[in-house]
């Protein structure tokens, strides 16, 4: 996902307005590679904070709502939120020292990621409206199917159809419906003082908890490609989700991601049902 250059070019007055409204002293922007402008900030009371301006895209619309729901339980605390010219702006607790979990050995990452996910999974509060996992999957499937029609997918057509069909079907099957992070991996978990590790940059949706370990699996490519089912079983056990269901999600996502992540084609073939 590439942020348009025009969005970056128009940020300066938005950031200045936010700094004025929230009386912030801003530091130099963090060199993040994600879909937001993020910088350290000092509040009027001296609080150590982070200002985040999010590029508008469907997956990120509920970040503030999710952080309010979690209220610091395993995730960074939301201090304030507003919308400026169609952009969501979040004022967040800062993690110190902020070392990414990705600096730890992957088996340790497994344990920490699973523990955080199990804390984040909860029923949304009454009256809350969050985007659904099914809606996100439909969007991704539609984009994938357009690429298949354009001849841009290096997969057997039958495998591509099966993967897209499973991707659409899985979030609609009978399963628990909880608040998900959807993009939780070791780069989005930082060392902090309030807790050993805190989640940042969630993309909250409501749906099947067996979906949520996927990004961590995909971010462990050596172990994943060496023995995908062994890693799936380990992480499923730590998370308390069904290993077969997690494997089904992994197959479907490997198919869907193949156009931009070609090395997943072999994984999709290995995980294909039957």
Catalytic residue list: 183
Sign of the CA dihedral running 15, 20, 23, 25:
positive
User: Which string of DSSP letters, residue by residue, matches 15-44?
Assistant: HHHHHHHTT-EE-PPP---SSEEEEEEE-T
Q: How far apart are CA 52 and CA 244, in angstroms?
A: 37
| Alpha helices in 74-196, H assignment, sequence order | 106-120, 133-149, 157-169
Angle, alpha carbons 176-190-29 (nearest 5°): 120
Cis-peptide into 173, omega within 30 deg: no
Q: How far apart are CA 82 and CA 14, in angstroms?
A: 12
The token duo for 174 is 């009978």
Nearest to 213 by CA among 191, 164, 180: 180
Q: How far apart are CA 55 and CA 131, in angstroms?
A: 17
Within 10 A of 229 (CB to CB), how many other CB atoms are there? 14
Q: Which residues of 91-100 are buried (b: 16+ CB within 10 A; e: fewer)?
A: bbbbbeeeeb
């Amino acid at each position: 996902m590439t942020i348009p250059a025009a969005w970056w070019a128009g940020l300066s007055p938005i950031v200045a307005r936010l700094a004025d409204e929230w009386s912030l002293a801003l530091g130099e922007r963090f060199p993040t590679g994600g879909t937001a402008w993020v910088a350290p900030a000092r509040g009027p009371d001296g609080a150590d904070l982070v200002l985040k301006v999010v590029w508008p895209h469907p997956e990120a619309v509920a970040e503030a709502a999710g952080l309010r729901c979690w209220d610091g339980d395993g995730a960074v605390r939301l201090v304030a939120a507003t919308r400026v010219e169609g952009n969501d702006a979040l004022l967040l607790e800062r993690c110190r020292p902020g070392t990414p979990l990705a600096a730890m050995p992957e088996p340790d990452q497994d344990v920490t990621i699973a523990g955080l996910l199990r804390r984040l999974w909860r029923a949304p509060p009454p009256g809350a409206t969050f985007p659904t996992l099914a809606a996100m999957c439909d969007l991704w499937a539609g984009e994938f199917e357009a690429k298949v029609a354009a001849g841009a997918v290096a997969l057997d057509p039958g495998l591509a159809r099966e993967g897209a069909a499973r991707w659409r079907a899985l979030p609609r099957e009978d399963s628990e419906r909880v608040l998900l992070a959807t993009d939780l991996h070791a780069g989005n978990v930082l060392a902090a003082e309030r807790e050993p590790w805190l989640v940042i940059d969630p993309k909250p949706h409501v749906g099947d908890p067996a979906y949520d370990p996927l990004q961590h699996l995909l971010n462990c490519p050596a172990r994943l490609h060496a023995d995908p089912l062994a890693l799936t079983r380990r992480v499923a056990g730590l998370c308390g989700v069904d290993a077969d269901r997690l494997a089904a999600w992994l197959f479907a996502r490997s198919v869907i991601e193949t156009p931009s992540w070609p090395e997943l084609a072999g994984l999709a073939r290995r995980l294909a049902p039957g």
